[in-house]
Amino acid sequence: MAAPRRDTRGIVDAAELFARVRFRRREPAPPLRPYLEHYWLIDWDLDQPYASHVVPHPSVNIVFQRFEGQEPFAEIAGVGLGLFTQKLEGTGRVCGVQFRPGGFRPFAPDRPVGDWTGRRVRLTGVDPVAVLGPDDEDARVAALDACLLTLGPRPDPDADRAMALADRIRADRTIRRVADLASAEGVSVRGLQRLFAAHVGVGPKWVILRYRIHEALERAETSTNVDWAALAADLGYADQAHLVRDFKATVGVPPTAYSPARKRDAGHEPIGSESV
């Protein structure tokens, strides 16, 4: 596994988020790297409330959270189907574990990953203070390693295959239809759908569409003059209207109305900076 990725895909108005909170990605211990994307650590000390917004990856997360005025807790966050919004205020800390798509099942082999999709469930049997308490960042990473190594993983060839296929979808933009992927892998569409339901938590078509939206979102984040018709064709959409429909359904506004780069240039407040 390479070092934690440095892109901002999925984060709505990443520049604004990074201006409000301290955000880092860290690499897990070597035995965990085949299953995890990275750890993500956030600390904040805010004068005014702030709402962060994320278009989730097709990944399960385990999240240790400490909000001002609340007891620390941990939860399993299944694949999020829609835009995720989190209110941040005062001081707080989050330590998250982002699994690779398909990488969670070896840690929870008794249930298909689809059972967690769209749900956030409190995780018992772990001590959130052990993870959230240390001010030393390395100590928090070591506590995450210890927690995950206690939970698993258990070898699972199907999970390995699901992870490899999800990686292929993310990296290969020529994969635009589930039938094309199934044909290339020598499996049936239905077999591919069953594999993803059990080990990723969403279907392969959903994964293809989500990675398309991530790329469109990142393009809007960084460019003030996106050619949306050309981008739609580049991402494999039949036309711009289909991209606009999917983008609006996921992010909440059409792509032509969403451009943090353009809004910053114009001196306007970007999405996600409002008090709530």
Q: What is the pLDDT of residues 140-178, one digit of tens each?
A: 999 999 999 998 899 999 999 999 999 999 988 788 889
pLDDT at 260: 57
| Strands of the 91-99 sheet, one edge to the other | 22-26, 36-45, 91-99, 61-67, 73-77, 120-122
Give yes or no for residue 273 having a pLDDT over 70. Answer: no
Give yes or no for residue 229 having a pLDDT over 50. Answer: yes
- Rounded to 5°, the CA angle 133-107-52 comes to 50
Q: Any bridge partners for residue 26, and if so which? A: 39
Reported as a pLDDT band with limits 50, 70 and 90, residue 274 is very low
Give yes or no for residue 35 having a pLDDT over 50. Answer: yes
What one-character DSSP code corresponds to residue 86?
A: E
Q: How far apart are CA 160 and CA 230, in angstroms?
A: 35
Model pTM?
A: 0.88
Give yes or no for residue 268 having a pLDDT over 60. Answer: no
In 100-149, beta strands by DSSP E: 120-122
In this prediction, residues 93-115 reach a mean pLDDT of 96
Reported as a pLDDT band with limits 50, 70 and 90, residue 88 is very high
In this prediction, residues 229-257 reach a mean pLDDT of 85
- Residue-by-residue DSSP string for 17-45: HHHHSEEEEE---GGGTTTEEEEEEEEEE
Q: How far apart are CA 86 and CA 51, in angstroms?
A: 6
CA atoms within 13 A on the CB side of 187: 16
Q: Any bridge partners for residue 121, and if so which? A: 76
Give yes or no for residue 83 having a pLDDT over 80. Answer: yes
In this prediction, residues 74-99 reach a mean pLDDT of 95
All domains in the chain, ordered by first residue: 14-151 (2.60.40), 157-263 (1.10.10.60)
pLDDT at 234: 83
pLDDT at 275: 25
Reported as a pLDDT band with limits 50, 70 and 90, residue 255 is confident
Cβ proximity of 165 and 185 under 8 Å: yes
113-132 as b/e: b if 16+ CB within 10 A: bbebbeeeeebeebebebbb
